[in-house]
Amino acid sequence: MSDIHRLPALDRRTFMVATASATGPVLATGCAAGAQVAEGSSRLPIEVTVNGMPRQLQVEARASLLDVLRDRLQLTGTKKGCDHGQCGACTVHVDDRRVASCLTLAVKCHGRQVRTIEGLPPRDGALHVMQQAFIDHDALQCGYCTPGQIMAAVACVREGHAGTDAEIREYMSGNLCRCGAYVAILEAVRDGAQRMKEAGHA
């Protein structure tokens, strides 16, 4: 009998276990963005600035930025919706670019600036002009998607994609509102864009 017939049957479970065992340490180290794994620990040290405040954290290699923000830093304004990057409820800014925090590994934010809805208003306690625009246009119903909508709207304006209604619809299309408040959201983003321009925030 040839050697190949004496090999054990390779089912899906065996393959997955073997693959995870072989690649796990490599993947964890690769995702650390320069951070080193503490000996005997599955956590990685990262330094990240969140809403202007430097943070030093130990995070799991596979932990999402969303879970770290909500569970470790108690910044629960960022919502968990689909957890698959399809609804936009978890939108935050990383280095002033919008990202789906449910799809962003926390370790990839090492050395970066993260801003959540809690860090959007100015330090004087007033609301950000885009937040006020959403209130003035009643651009919410249940409100669950609203933090992500506002973070996406601010990014939309700063990216220069709020010049027309068609542009706003296109660049806000990744943020879903299950209550269907899209008409009011469009009005709020249009108005908020003008307010940002007047305030020098665009």
The more confident residue out of 29 and 63 is: 63
Cβ neighbours around 37 below 10 Å, total: 15
The average confidence (pLDDT) of the chain is 86
Chain-centre distance of CA 53, in angstroms?
18
CA-to-CA distance for 112 and 96, rounded, in angstroms? 10
Do 137 and 53 lie in a common domain?
A: no
Picking from 119, 143, 171, the residue at the C-terminal end of a domain is 119
Q: Which domain holds residue 136?
A: 129-199
Same domain, 84 and 166: no
Contact 171, 156 (CB under 8 A): yes
Residue type, 119: G
CA atoms within 13 A on the CB side of 148: 28
In this structure, the answer to whether residues 16 and 103 fall within a common structural domain is: yes
48 or 200: which leads in pLDDT: 48
Per-residue pLDDT at 11: 52
Q: At what angle do helices 146-158 and 129-136 cross, to 10 degrees?
A: 120
Question: Are residues 193 and 147 both part of a single domain?
Answer: yes
Q: Do 114 and 151 belong together in one domain?
A: no
| Cα(199)–Cα(195) distance, integer angstroms | 6
Q: Is the pLDDT of residue 22 over 50?
A: no
- The domain spanning residue 25 has which CATH number? 3.10.20.30
pLDDT value of position 200:
84
What is the separation, in whole angstroms, between the first and last Cα of the chain?
Answer: 74
Looking at 85, 119, 153, which one is the last position of a domain? 119
- Low-confidence winner among 72-81, 108-117, 164-173, 192-201 (lowest mean pLDDT): 192-201
Q: For 129-150, b where at least 16 C-beta lie within 10 A, e where not — what string? A: bbbbbbeebebbeeebbbbbbb
Least confident of 7-16, 77-86, 91-100, 124-133: 7-16
- The residue type of 2 is S
Domain match, 23 and 108 both: yes
119-155 tens-digit pLDDT: 999 888 899 999 999 999 999 999 999 999 999 999 9
Number of domains in the chain: 2
Are 164 and 114 within 8 A, CB to CB? no
One domain for residues 113 and 162: no
Q: Which residue has 């050395």 as its token pair?
A: 111
* Mean pLDDT along residues 11-35: 44
| Model pLDDT for residues 146-197, shown as the tens digit of each residue | 999 999 999 999 999 999 999 999 999 999 999 999 999 999 999 999 999 9
C-alpha angle 25-26-30 in degrees, rounded to nearest 5: 115
pLDDT value of position 124: 82
Distance CA 104, CA 59 (A): 13
176 and 151 assigned to the same domain: yes
- Check whether 24 has a pLDDT greater than 90: no
At which of 119, 153, 171 does a domain end? 119
